[in-house]
Amino acid sequence: MGVGIEVTNLNAWYGANHTLQDINLNIPANHATALIGPSGCGKSTFVRCLNRMHETNPIARVTGTVRIGDLDIYTDAKPVEIRRRVGMVFQRPNPFPTMSIYDNVAAGLKLNGYSNHRVLDEIVERSLKDSALWEEVKDDLKKKSGASLSGGQQQRLCIARALAVDPEVLLMDEPASALDPVSTSKIEDLIFQLKSQYTIVIVTHNMQQAARVAEKTGFFLNGRMVEFDSTHKIFTNPSDKRTEDYITGRFG
Amino acid sequence: MSKLRTGSTWRARIRTAEDGLATGLAVLSTVLVVAPLVAIFVYLIYKGASSLNLAFFTQIPKPEGQEGGGMANAIVGSGVLLALASAIGVPIGIGGGIFLAEFGRGSKLANAVRFTADVLNGVPSIVMGVAIYALVVTPAMPFSAISGGLALGIMMIPTVTRTTEEMLLMVPHAVREAALALGVPNWRSVLSITVKTASPGIITGCMLAFARVAGETAPLIFTAFGNSNWSVALNQPISALPLEIYRYAISPYDDQHRQAWAAALVLVVLIVTAVSLVRYVASRGVLKGAS
């Protein structure tokens, strides 16, 4: 089951660049939350702070607290433990090119020392079914490389890989922006189904996408969160002028 | 209108001519690249094949001046020396490359290691032989297979290190991020994901280094020394094909000249076979569609 995320006074820097300023936000459990805003506004940095991927960049720095469920991720646990509970899907599909489809899905478990084949088989099958890829790949699981799939299939493979470690939260950083419309709609359907089991945070440039998949939407601008409300309210009756300008296409 | 058309056919002809010229130059360059290799190989077969017989592979050299004999000890000796060299050069070289690309990136130590590797790569092989002679060959450890293997192994390190580093740096950042985002510890991600993804290139680097030292003569003169008798003992002088080629090629006897050609042919064939075999074995595990 998913858990809620509570962000308090989050600040982040890349070198001298103050990319996130005083973010406060409560992301509800088992819902999809969309983050929108122009390029460079800090929304990708924000999701990368939620699984501590931000700090893999040596010049990056973070202050503030992020509680995921009952865990303060910056004080209570190591980054590797956080990342097992908070899965991530990136903008460009990034399967492991030398691994088979099966090994890609099992990678998170295998690389953390898990080796019970019967259980792995079950988890791989369940994850691929959950990511709506099973029917397309079930005959080539161990024969084909993850890189041999189409872009849309690769992205669903990456979702399966993230689901296989049984996370509570799934972060998606523009998961469909490198895909064609058919693959995009498959990913959106998937988000719709997955949000009953996981807390989903999705960064997107596509406002229709945000409106379609998310119950809550946050609008970021220049490293600050301008407005956070129900998706319906943000897109029909935003309380901040800047949000209105953005969603009506006046800038960004 | 007709003028325009003439103009365009004229231009089309120039384009065709330019295209032909460029293609021709590319073909010519290819021929020039391949020609020396083919010439050497053909000449080796022409000169060496006739001297190849069963005795060449099963017997040890006859005393000076006698006809016949073979180079069984040198073939085995080369195998022993190259196995030792690979056992030293490959792990250290790959380890150094992993350090440069993954753990020491940008650090002073990494820059020093990279610089050292490049300098080491430029050290003439005879100097390497003399250095090992001065540092390792002592009364306690006389001329020996170990010192020969050590000299060759050290010569392999810079090539292996630098290719490993370059191949690791070619692995997309997205692949590393994917592993880290799954909660895989960094060291595990490096070994199981990054190195594995780069492994075809790393293997090529190892094979290049292997092929290079397989034909080295100079570093062996002061270290492995050569041996006219059967010996596979690691602490004794050992024979090697390049050493025998060198010794026989400058000898006054025609029969030894012929055997030198045969040994050169065998050496080249063995190197090509070893490299192809490793590539074949390494490629068997690769899946359909994997980069």
Q: Token pair 């060496």 is at which residue?
A: B48
B147 and B118 in one domain? yes
List residues of A whose CB lies inside 8 A of any B CB: 51, 53, 56, 80-85, 87-88, 90, 92, 94-100, 107-108, 111-112, 140, 143-145, 147-149, 158, 161-162, 165
Query: How open is the CA angle A27-A30-A35, to the nearest 5 degrees?
Result: 40
Question: Could you state, in order of their start, the residue ranges of all structural domains in chain A?
Answer: 5-247
Nearest to A56 among B180, B182, B185 (CB): B180
pLDDT for the residue numbered B4: 54
Structural domain for B25, as ranges: 2-51
Check which CATH number belongs to the domain holding B83 and give it: 1.10.3720.10
- Asked if the C-beta of B178 comes within 8 angstroms of chain A's C-beta atoms, the answer is yes
Residues of chain B with C-beta less than 8 angstroms from the C-beta of A99: 287
Secondary structure letter of residue B17 according to DSSP:
H
ipTM: 0.89
Q: Are B191 and B116 found together in one domain? A: yes
- Co-location of B45 and B84 in the same domain: no
Touching check for B105 and chain A: CB below 8 Å? no
Would you write out chain B's pLDDT as a tens digit for each of its 291 residues? 455 555 578 889 999 999 999 999 999 999 999 999 999 999 999 999 988 888 889 988 888 778 888 899 999 999 999 999 999 999 999 999 999 999 888 899 999 999 999 999 999 999 999 999 999 888 777 899 999 999 999 999 999 999 999 999 999 999 999 999 999 999 999 999 999 999 989 999 999 999 999 999 999 999 988 888 888 888 888 999 999 999 999 988 888 899 999 999 999 999 999 989 888 888 776 665 554
Cβ density class B126-145: b for 16+ within 10 Å, e for less: eebbbbbbeebbeeeeebbb
Considering the domain architecture, whether residues B89 and B24 belong to the same structural domain is answered as no
The token pair at B51 is 């001297």
In a domain, B249, yes or no: yes
Is B181's CB within 8 Å of A83's CB?
A: yes
Answer whether residue B290 is part of any domain. Answer: no
pLDDT digits (tens, 9 = 90+) for A6-46: 999 999 999 899 999 999 999 999 999 999 999 889 999 99
Of the candidates B262, B217, B265, the one whose C-alpha atom is nearest the C-alpha of residue B242 is B217
Strands A71-72 and A169-173 come out as unpaired
* Averaged confidence pLDDT in chain A: 92
Cβ separation A83–B183 shorter than 8 A: yes
Q: How close does chain B come to A245, measured CA to CA in Å?
A: 34
By C-alpha distance, the chain A residue nearest B200 is A98
- What residues contact residue A161 under an 8 Å CB cut-off, 6+ apart? A95, A104, A105, A107, A108, A127, B178, B182
Strand A71-72, strand A60-68: pairing: antiparallel
Q: Which of A94, A111, A149 sits opposite B177 (nearest CB)?
A: A94
Q: How far is A22 from chain B (nearest CA, A)?
A: 25
For residues B143 and B234, is the Cβ–Cβ distance under 8 A?
A: no
Please report, to the nearest 10 degrees, the dihedral formed by the alpha carbons of residues B127, B128, B130, B133 taken in order.
Answer: 170
In whole angstroms, give the CA distance from residue A23 to residue A12. Answer: 9
Distance from CA of B175 to the nearest CA of A (A): 6
Burial level of A92, CB count in 10 A (0-12/13-18/19+)? middle
What does A198-210 look like in DSSP terms, one character per residue? SEEEEE-S-HHHH
Distance from C-alpha of B180 to C-alpha of B182, rounded to nearest angstrom: 5
The answer to whether position B76 is within a domain reads yes
Distance (Å, rounded) from C-alpha B39 to C-alpha B24? 22
Q: Which two tokens stand for residue A131?
A: 């990511």
pLDDT of residue B282: 81
Helix or strand run (H / E) with residue B31: helix B2-48
Q: What is the pLDDT of residue A191?
A: 92
Residues B141 and B44 in one domain: no
Contact criterion met (CB below 8 Å) for A10 and A46 = yes
What's the total number of domains in chain B? 2
Rounded-to-integer distance, Cα A224 and Cα B194, Å? 36
d(CA B11, CA A248): 51
- B14 shares a domain with B85: no
Helices (H), A86-229: 101-110, 117-130, 134-137, 151-164, 181-194, 207-213
Query: Is B194 near chain A, with CB under 8 Å?
Result: no
Q: For residue B289, is it within any domain?
A: no
Residue B176 lies in a domain: yes
- Rounded to a whole number, what is the distance in Å from the CA of A103 to chain B's nearest CA? 11
Across the interface, of A85, A111, A145, the residue whose CB is closest to B288 is A145
Both tokens of residue B290? 């994997």
Q: Do B289 and A148 touch (CB under 8 A)?
A: yes
Same domain, B109 and B156: yes
- Same domain as B85, residue B11: no
In the CATH scheme, what is the code of domain A5-247? 3.40.50.300
What residue of A is the nearest CA neighbor of B191?
A: A111
For residues B41 and B83, state if they share a domain: no
Q: Using CA atoms, how far apart are residues B129 and B150, in angstroms rounded to an integer?
A: 10
Which H/E stretch holds residue A230?
A: strand A224-230
Q: With contact defined as beta carbons under 8 Å apart, do B238 and B148 qualify? A: yes
Closest Cα in chain B, distance from residue A230 (Å): 29
How open is the CA angle B285-B290-B291, to the nearest 5 degrees? 125
- Same domain, yes or no: B144 and B14: no
Q: Is A223 left (phi over 0), alpha (psi -120 to 50) or beta?
A: left
Q: What residues of A are in contact with residue B183 (Cβ under 8 Å)?
A: 80-85, 108, 112, 165
Give Cα separations from B64 to B115, B220, B227, B256 (angstroms). Answer: 46, 21, 13, 9
Q: Euclidean distance between the first and final Cα of chain A, in Å?
A: 36
Low-confidence residues of chain A: pLDDT under 70: 251-252
* Separation in Å, CA of B181 to nearest CA in chain A: 6
CA–CA distances in Å: residue A180 to residues A134, A176, A187: 20, 8, 11
Size of interface A-B (CB pairs under 8 A): 94
CA angle B8, B12, B15 (to 5 degrees): 140
Same domain, B271 and B130: yes
Supply the pLDDT for residue A58.
86
What's the pLDDT at B170? 93
Q: Are residues B109 and B212 in the same domain?
A: yes
* CB contact B19 to A (< 8 Å): no
B288 at interface of A, judged by CB pairs closer than 8 A: yes
What pLDDT, on the 0 to 100 scale, is given for residue B205? 92
Q: Do B177 and A100 touch (CB under 8 A)?
A: no
Contacts of A175 in chain B (CB under 8 A): none
pLDDT of residue B45: 93
- Report pLDDT for A199: 95
Residue B19 maps to a domain: yes
**How far does A240 lie from chain B, in Å, by closest CA?**
34
